[in-house]
Amino acid sequence: MKIRKAKKEDVQFIVEMLANDKLGKLREDYKLPLPEKYCRAFENIDNDPNQELVVIENESGEVIGTLQLSFIQYLTYQGGIRAQIEAVRIHESYRGKGIGKKLFEWAITRAKEKGAHVLQLTTDKKRPEAFDFYIKLGFKASHEGMKLHFL
């Protein structure tokens, strides 16, 4: 398996994975051809040095997982850098095979390489299995998160 930076031609497979669960079906608009808004978003991510969208490929070169790692510079923690994981998905036929763990190990190493002092994520309370997975990886539920949705 290989983890690499996502390319434009991967966007279709990434969005398909994002849409392939009960919550993703409600918020994504996966269809072919893929709506242009996804291509624009990819270009913005790809051109931002503080964003790393990666995919993991199987031995045949098929995209079977993805995550986005963002680096947030701020003044607290003496001008520290916070790394944030978003949009983690593993293709349904590869779940439970250690692919997610491999992606997270990569993200942890990458965050340390970039000098981040913390790696954070949020998870929807409707995904208890994800919460348990993150706890096993060493994440701690140390803060209570809040969101204000505009859509």
pLDDT in tens, 59-76: 999 999 999 999 999 999
Taking a C-beta distance cutoff of 8 angstroms, is the pair 139, 35 a contact?
no
Q: What is the CATH number of domain 2-136?
A: 3.40.630.30
- For all residues of the chain together, what is the average pLDDT? 95
> What does the pLDDT read at residue 145?
87
Domain ranges of the chain: 2-136
Buried b / exposed e along 112-136 (16+ C-beta atoms within 10 A)? eeeebeebbbebeeeeeeeeebbee
